[in-house]
Each structure stands twice: as structure tokens, then as C-alpha cells.
Amino acid sequence: MTCPTCKALLHEPQSRFLPFCSERCQWLDLSRWLAEDYRVADPQESPPWPEEEKDG
Ligand SMILES: [Zn+2]
């Protein structure tokens, strides 16, 4: 399976953060979901979430 946030392949599906690979991705997904209610439409603004980087 893959992490819904960063699409990383989960090698250890026993993670307590399933279906996410880490607490960070779990939090990011939740934040995105919450942001749906508060986001401000501004096509010239960069997305609040920088692209994922391979840091792990
Ligand atoms: Zn992830």
C-alpha cells in the first residue's frame, strides 16, 4: 500500500499512522482536509503545502 499523502510505499503496514507512512503525513492530510473550509481562493498564491521532499 502507499501513503495517501506522499505516495511513499509502505514497507511496514503495521504503522500506527496507517494509512499514512508517518505522523507528519497524517497531520498534513488532516490539515489539508480542514483547510477545505478555510482556504482562500487565490490562483496566484502558491499552495500552502510545499512539494514533498525525500528526507527520510
Ligand atoms: Zn507519507
Residue 5 CA to ligand 1 center (angstroms) comes to 5
Residue 26 CA to ligand 1 centre (angstroms): 7
What string of pLDDT tens digits covers the 56 residues of the chain? Answer: 899 999 999 887 666 888 999 999 999 999 988 888 665 556 566 666 677 777 66
| pLDDT for the residue numbered 11 | 80
Give me ligand 1 centre to Cα 29, in Å.
9
Å from CA of 9 to ligand 1 middle: 8
DSSP letters, 27-53, are HHHHHHHHHTTT----TTSPPSSPPP-
Residues 29 and 20 sit within 8 Å (Cβ to Cβ): yes
Is residue 31 within 8 Å of 39, Cβ to Cβ? Answer: no
Distance 13 CA to ligand 1 centre (A): 12
